[in-house]
Amino acid sequence: MAPKIPTVFFKNGSPIPALGLGTWNSPPGQVTQAVKDAIDVGYRHIDCAHVYENEHEVGAGIAAKVAQGNVKREDLFITSKLWNTYHRPDLVKGALQATLRNLNLKYLDLYLIHWPVAYREGDVLFPLRPDGKRVHFSDVDYIETWPAMERLVEAGLVRNIGLSNFNVQQVQRVLDVARIPPATNQIECHPYLHQASLTEFCKRHDVTITAYSPLGSPARPWVKQDDPVLLEDAVVQRLAQKHSKTPAQILIRYQHQLGHVVIPKSVSRQRIASNADVFGFELDAADLQQLAGLERNGRICPESFSFGHPHHPFEAEFRKGRR
């Protein structure tokens, strides 16, 4: 049994478990079991998204555990995300309702705008242009989307709302118009990409950071043979040996000590349990300094399909790092 997972509190006082199960890129047919295994070993936080195309499997796993009496719905914290093709305000509620149907839930604990970029409206997730490399854009501004997100809270369909993959200026624009401020900004975060100025800005404004791809997403579909593997980094390996932990446990613990909610993905019961066994040891100041020193602007989720979009959050930074 995994140790008890600590709780983090959003600015509005809502609790969120500090560790959750990520479900992006989880192979079809394995997600339901992964969710059941995660609940069995102590997870209460599951991170989903419409674009992952596996929310029905997540829902089946949740339903099975609730039916068995292992857990109650109110004990769980379920997150999902509004996809880019549904940014138009009149489409937001319908997109949420589709997610709720897939998950077989009456409400979400957290709903995020997945990216600040809007795609051409419709049910095609990536409405590609003829070149096959970029998508057709929509001119909807996420500032127009935010009030529709707030209405979901007021309707009792969502407990908290937030952002994902928004840069400093974009978070500020939302804060400037929000009646309900974003509870979190879910961003890629690991020792090769700290996004320090963004995380510091969010913390100053009481926007909790949720770290995705904390292990460097070694199984991402577009990985290249010569890409560095964070889990095999010499510093990470040394610290794992020092603390008698796995490299993954070091990386997850690192995010926790940075004050971030962290959502590692796995479909292996053994790894799911191991990933939660990170609350019984501590990285010291020297350990933290070594991991901070691995920064290389190593973004692995650049959302290149939407390069050229006026609201792309980090295209300029991504291109600058590759000059």
**Positions at the binding site for substrate:** 114
Sign of the Cα pseudo-torsion (41, 46, 47, 51, in order): positive
For residues 205 and 216, the answer to whether their CB atoms sit within 8 Å is no
CA distance linking residue 292 with residue 151, whole number of Å: 40
DSSP letter string over 156-205?
TSBS-EEEES--HHHHHHHHHH-SS--SEEEEE-BTTB--HHHHHHHHHT
Task: Tell me the sheet residues that pair with 208.
Answer: 184
Residues comprising the binding site? Answer: 114
Q: Where are the alpha helices (DSSP H) in the chain?
A: 31-41, 55-67, 89-103, 142-154, 168-177, 196-204, 234-243, 247-257, 269-276, 285-292, 315-320
Q: Which residues contact 25 (CB under 8 A, 6 or more apart)?
A: 52, 217, 219, 220, 221, 265
- Catalytic site includes residue 52: yes
Active-site residue, from 43, 52, 119, 212:
52
Known catalytic residues are 52
